[in-house]
Structure 1
Amino acid sequence: MTPLPPLNPLKMFEAAGRLLSISKAAEELFVTPAAVSRQIRVLEEFLNFQLFRREHGGLSLTPAGAKYLSEITPLFMALRETTNAAMGGGYRRRVLRIRSPATFAVRWLIPRLAGFHQLHPGIDVQLTASAAPLDFSREDIDAGIELGDGHWPRLIVQKLVPNELVPVMAPRAGATVPREPRELASETLLHSLARIDDWALWLRAAGAPGVNTYQGMKYETSLLSYQAAVEGHGVAMAQKALVEKDLAEGRLVMPFGLALDRGDHTYYFASPREREESVELAAFRRWLADAVAASSTTMPSAL
């Protein structure tokens, strides 16, 4: 039987990941920051991968850490609700259930969620990840994020980030960085199977018909293709808003200036039109609009 992860370290990771702060997690759990850090290291050793990046001025989740957090969050929420019910329901929390594609959740939403928790400490967000189309008739969720054209008459939709396609790669010595799109013919292209036509769309816009648009490495999600690019395995076609931190911190660079804006085909926050909007959902919608506005500041430019 596969062993359970060590539960005390798991609890501390969940708090630190949700709050993106060791000190705030320590306050919530009534332990010292050193104890939280120590327990997170125990969990990292058990999992054999790093959960956080300890950076100047803050803490951020690694892609693997963010994915793991998104998967354990519903389990912690279910455990809290089951315990509350067993105790007679005396401890009431307001729960907001949100579903998102994994790449958007890990790359954009989770790094910002601590801000929502700080503004609304009485609302628990239960975040799940899936690439399947939203189906509110079958899923126990309040709202979700979906990639598409936004023309869904039965849903209230809120446009999120621009969907600008840009090639990205790990930094290299100047002489080996492709300077013209046609030079991509000699590069390993990294594809997401969830967005398999993105390279063809960008290369057509760039006027590079001689590049095989489907050659290269293919990954189940964009999240994996972005990580492959960071590791130096090739050139990925990225949604610029989802790699902004990697670009700003130099883990990825854009070798070309062309950003192909897909217009209305982008990410939307959606909820059922026929349902009365809860106070919790309205608060999340307002916060999300502010987070989107804040993220539309100056982005890194091409090399």
Structure 2
Amino acid sequence: MRRKIPSLQSLLCFESAAKHASYTYASQELCITQSAVSRQIQQLEQFLQVELFTRTRHGVELTPAGEQYYKNIKAPLLALEQNTLDMMSHKGLGGTLKLGVVPTFATRWLLPKLHRFNAIYPEITIHLETSTKPFLFNENIFDAAIYTGTQQQIEHWPGTTAHHLLKEDVVAVCAPYLIDKNFPQAKKINEYSYDLSADQLIQLPLLQQTTRPTIWQEWFQTHHIVHARPYDGQRHELFTMLAVAASHGMGMALIPQMLIEKELLKKELVIVSPKKLEGRRSYYLVHSSQDSSALIQKFIDWIQTELTSYQAAAV
């Protein structure tokens, strides 16, 4: 039974003409004649039985149906091109793994270590894109995702298998000059950490995380500290944004220590207290329950080994 799919050449001509609003530019991009572009689009319109373009003084313009069709086919055509390039690159060996990763974990922890994966598996190419929310794997956006959340959130992600990576412990940090300015005699544990008292801690301004509005209240309650306004302070979405704001003296933030190692080494941030908020959320690698490929398993084994080494060094 023949599939209801138009020719690839007609789709490429349509996509290029829609992008440039011009048959002329489309012909130049595709290295064919303008009449050939026009002919291919006519064939596509006949196939669809829908008018895709109207002519204007300056070229062509998409009809409402054409706009919708263009929006729908852009991503599949790009994916087809990327998959073809990947196949040409790997010559049928190895493959490509598309990963969705929470932004700060990607930039601060994963990317600086990814060259070690490349050295072990040169035949596998990793494509990273940031993603902060669950999605459906049948949409073919990613092969797997590194997601941070509670076990309950993971259990309610349909059709997936989750591999626990590590707990997300957060520490309270601020710029060192905030402590020098307000508490010059503060108790110091080491070069990058202090042990401020409860009375000192509640005097520092707070920086809030937009996606976790109760995090400071949880931290104070866990350590039996009474704060009159635990929800006050600037709000920022990502840990990277909180780290920048905190390093510029705008307040005290709760951030996983593994994501701010550079700032601690450079003394742009200091840990204000040994008190942590432990394990309310964790990092998981999640993939479709129907897709447990060798590529995904190799990445899981590698990242779990890396995290084990990191945790051992941190102890």
TM-score range, shorter chain: 0.5 to 0.7
**2:270 paired with 1:253:** yes
- Name the counterpart of 1:156: 161
Contact 1:190 / 1:225 at 8 angstroms: preserved in 2? yes
How far does residue 241 in structure 1 lie from its aligned partner after superposition?
2.5
Supply the AA of the counterpart residue of 1:266.
S
How far does residue 84 in structure 1 lie from its aligned partner after superposition?
7.8
- Name the counterpart of 1:107: 108
- Give TM-score scaled by structure 2 length: 0.62
Q: How does 1:171-210 map to 2 (within 5 A)?
A: 171-172=176-177, 173=180, 175=184, 179-210=196-227
Partner of 2:275: helix, strand, or coil?
Answer: coil
Q: Deviations over 1:251-293 (max 9, x none)?
A: 3211111112125x21111111122x22211111111111111
In the comparison of the two structures, how many residue pairs are matched?
Answer: 220
How far does residue 103 in structure 1 lie from its aligned partner after superposition?
1.6
How far does residue 91 in structure 1 lie from its aligned partner after superposition?
3.5
Partner of 2:232: helix, strand, or coil?
Answer: coil
Contact 2:90 / 2:123 at 8 angstroms: preserved in 1? no
Structure 1: segments with no counterpart, 5+ residues: 1-77
Contact 2:210 / 2:235 at 8 angstroms: preserved in 1? yes
Q: How does 1:134-173 map to 2 (within 5 A)?
A: 134-150=135-151, 151-152=154-155, 154-172=159-177, 173=180
User: Which structure has more strand as a fraction of its residues?
Assistant: 2
- Name the counterpart of 2:42: none
Supply the AA of the counterpart residue of 1:246.
E
Rounded to whole Å, the distance in 2 between the matches of 1:204 and 1:249 is 31
How far does residue 209 in structure 1 lie from its aligned partner after superposition?
1.7
- Name the counterpart of 1:217: 234
Partner of 2:244: helix, strand, or coil?
Answer: helix
Structure 2: segments with no counterpart, 5+ residues: 1-76, 187-194
Rounded to whole Å, the distance in 2 between the matches of 1:90 and 1:209 is 61
Contact 2:220 / 2:227 at 8 angstroms: preserved in 1? no
- Name the counterpart of 1:82: 81
- Name the counterpart of 1:289: 304
Rounded to whole Å, the distance in 2 between the matches of 1:221 and 1:112 is 21
Give the superposed CA RMSD: 2.8
Rounded to whole Å, the distance in 2 between the matches of 1:83 and 1:136 is 18
- Name the counterpart of 1:273: 289
Rg comparison, structure with higher value: 2
Partner of 1:257: helix, strand, or coil?
Answer: strand
How far does residue 193 in structure 1 lie from its aligned partner after superposition?
0.6
After TM superposition, the structure 1 stretch with the greater mean CA deviation from structure 2, 243-252 or 127-136, is: 243-252
- Name the counterpart of 2:56: none
**2:238 paired with 1:229:** no
